[in-house]
Structure 1
Amino acid sequence: MLPPTAPHPDDAPSRGLFLALEGGDGAGKSTQGRLLRDWFRERGREVVMTHEPGGSALGTQIRQLLLHGDHVAPRAEALLFAADRAHHVETVIRPALHRGDVVITDRYLDSSVAYQGAGRDLDADEVRSLSLWAVQGLVPDLTIVLDISPELGRARRGAVHDRLEAEPDGFHARVRARFLALAAATPERYLVVDATEDPDQIHDQVVARLETLVGVTP
């Protein structure tokens, strides 16, 4: 287990709002991200939309290795995701939060816990500790898990799959179970929604939860 990480000096109570969209491939995270972006902008908030891996210039290169390259050993895969996340937080997410912006990221550290910790059958606690060390303890104010079965996710994605999407349904079933377990363990920081519902209905559920967070609405 890695040692505890000291809080970053920029992580003050007055910082912006940090939201993460998680869930299996094909769950509709991009659609919900766009709906959330528009909702916040209509209320006068500055919004930064980003994603992992690849939310920075360096991350784009790491993304190519991770999702479109040759075989990557599981531990190397976990380390590359953590490296991408460390740079992403330092150069994109934390500066935006320091400005008071809303940050919406398509995937964050829970994806490593689910995909590498459960999907690759590594130690999930070690994978989480690695990412927490990489980001100096920064976690989202709310993580929205779009829950979808592996079979439906694969059908939605069609014929084109990246290296992780191409894994068998058993892999994706373990990933799904880990996302749900993470949400069940700390429900105050998560919202789980059924990704088979109409996108507008899902958005309404997300907005209802956001309206309970202090400082979301002007």
Structure 2
Amino acid sequence: MSGKFIVFEGPDGSGKTLHSTLFAERLRKEGHDVLHTVEPTKGPIGKQIREFIAGDGGVSHEVMQLLFSADRGWHLEKEVQPALQAGKTVVSDRYYYSTFMYGEAAGLSSDWLRLLNAYYPRPDYIVLALPSMEVCSNRIGGRASQEVFEKRAFQERTYRLYEHMAREPGVIVIDTGGNKDEVAQEIWERVMERVGAPV
């Protein structure tokens, strides 16, 4: 399991942040050296992105995606690749798939978005957290404030794109709408099965 890059993806409200955290914690308990990371990062570009997202955006969708791509490059160079080279397992909450989903939902060209991320390495495993649309909406509705990417119409478009992603080969799709512990166990078993490691 060492030196593997595992990405958790999913629409807002899917539970991917919770379950990427639980998965990373369990890996550590099992004796693995783990880097649990997130995009946007906490680096200089990521901080700027978070400020835009927390407000009304402030810039065009094109500029936002350019920033996401630049932040991803920083993420890979400064955090992900050094960790992988050191033999660590990297668990990332979001990666370039988010660019494809959110960018296309905003009306940007899928070809342009893929070109923007063409030179970034593919992860070893992809876990897609995908409960029902209703579950995602209820979770987002319970938050104190809504970010620019959490508006209802945009959220629905993004969800449909993630549904399409769920049909891609190699993606581990998990309904994260159920009991937290049961879902965490299912994720563990599905990933370990793919890795070929004992559960």
What TM-score does the superposition give when structure 2 sets the normalisation length? 0.88
Q: Tell me, in whole angstroms, the C-alpha distance in 1 between the residues paired with 2:21 and 2:60.
A: 34
Q: How many residues align?
A: 197
Secondary structure of the residue aligned to 2:112 is: helix
Which of 123, 127, 136 is residue 140 of structure 1 equivalent to? 123
Q: Measure how far apart 1:149 and its partner are.
A: 4.0
Q: 1:180 to 1:116 in 2, by over 3 A?
A: same
Q: Secondary structure at the match of 2:188?
A: helix
1:116 pairs with 2:116: no
Report the secondary structure of 2:108's partner residue. coil
Identity, in percent, stands at: 30
Q: Which residue of 2 aligns with 1:156?
A: 139
Determine the structure 2 residue equivalent to 1:30: 17
* Structure 1 residue 198, shift from structure 2 partner: 1.1
Matched, 1:193 2:174: yes
Answering whether residue 126 of structure 2 is matched by residue 126 of structure 1, we say: no
- The offset of 1:185, in angstroms, is 2.3
2:164 is aligned to 181
One-letter identity of the residue aligned with 1:205: E
The alpha-carbon deviation at position 21 of structure 1 amounts to 1.1
What's the secondary structure of 1:78's corresponding residue? helix
The letter of the residue matching 2:148 is R
> 1:192 & 1:184 partners in 2: Cα distance?
9
How far, CA to CA, are the matches of 1:125 and 1:202 in structure 2? 34
Offset at 1:49?
1.0
Distance (whole Å) between structure 2 residues aligned to residue 57 and residue 45 of structure 1: 29
Contact 2:175–2:183 (8 Å) recurs in 1: yes
Counterpart secondary structure, 1:19: strand
Distance 1:74 1:26 in 2: 21
**Counterparts of 1:98 and 1:217 in 2: how far apart (Å)?**
24
- The counterpart of 2:94, out of the listed 96, 99, 107, is 107
**Considering only aligned residues, what root-mean-square deviation do their CA atoms show, in Å?**
2.2
> SS of the residue aligned with 2:167?
helix
Q: Structure 1, residues 193-216: CA drift from partner, whole Å, max 9, x if none?
A: 112111122112211122224475
How far the C-alpha of 1:152 sits from its partner, in A, is: 2.9
Q: Scaled by the length of structure 1, what TM-score is found?
A: 0.81
The 8 Å contact of residues 13 and 139 in structure 2, kept in 1 or not, is answered as yes
* Stretches of structure 1 lacking an aligned partner (at least 5 in a row): 1-13
SS in 2 for 1:132: coil
Residue 79 of structure 1 aligns with which residue? 66
